[in-house]
Amino acid sequence: MGKRPYPAQAGGTTPFKHPPRRKLTKRDYAKFFESRQRTCEGCGRPIRPGERWTRDHIIALTNGGPDVDENCQLLCKFCDSAKTPSDLSQSGKGKRQATNFVVPKEYRGSSGFYKPPGAQFNWRTGRYEIAP
């Protein structure tokens, strides 16, 4: 589960470098997504197109990290929320942690978070339940 070194630039493609803090286009994000084999670099989970993911700065911009792909990793929503909970509310953090805690690994496959239809999180039992 530890952090893996990011893979070298895929062979044959032109390495593209961006000037610092340039604004990325949708295409840039798509290229980045593909260059990381659509795989979360935090947990190794495949990420489906359309699923929420982040281009996470390994060294944060606020810590002087450059805004280039070499300083970025592809993170799935679970790894991103585990890494940067600070600016989010405590209740949001608790919900995410509870979600990661109660949802079995096999339900966290490529389709992302699985919740049975109509299920509600019950804070007393700490699990999802189908409402009566």
Contact residues toward Zn ion (CB under 5 A) are 40, 42-43, 45, 76, 79
What string of H, E and C letters represents the secondary structure of the chain?
CCCCCCCCCCCCCCCCCCCCCCCCCHHHHHHHHHHCCCECCCCCCECCCCCCEEEEECCCHHHCCCCCHHHEEEEEHHHHHHHCCCCCCHHHHHHHHHHHHHCCHHHHCCCCCCCCCCEEEECCCCEEEECC
Nearer CB in complex with Zn ion: 18/58: 58
Nearer CB in complex with Zn ion: 43/98: 43
Q: How far is the CB of 117 from Zn ion (least distance, A)?
A: 25
Q: How far is the CB of 43 from Zn ion (least distance, A)?
A: 3
Nearer CB in complex with Zn ion: 41/69: 41
Nearer CB in complex with Zn ion: 31/83: 83
Q: How far is the CB of 108 from Zn ion (least distance, A)?
A: 9
Q: How far is the CB of 75 from Zn ion (least distance, A)?
A: 6
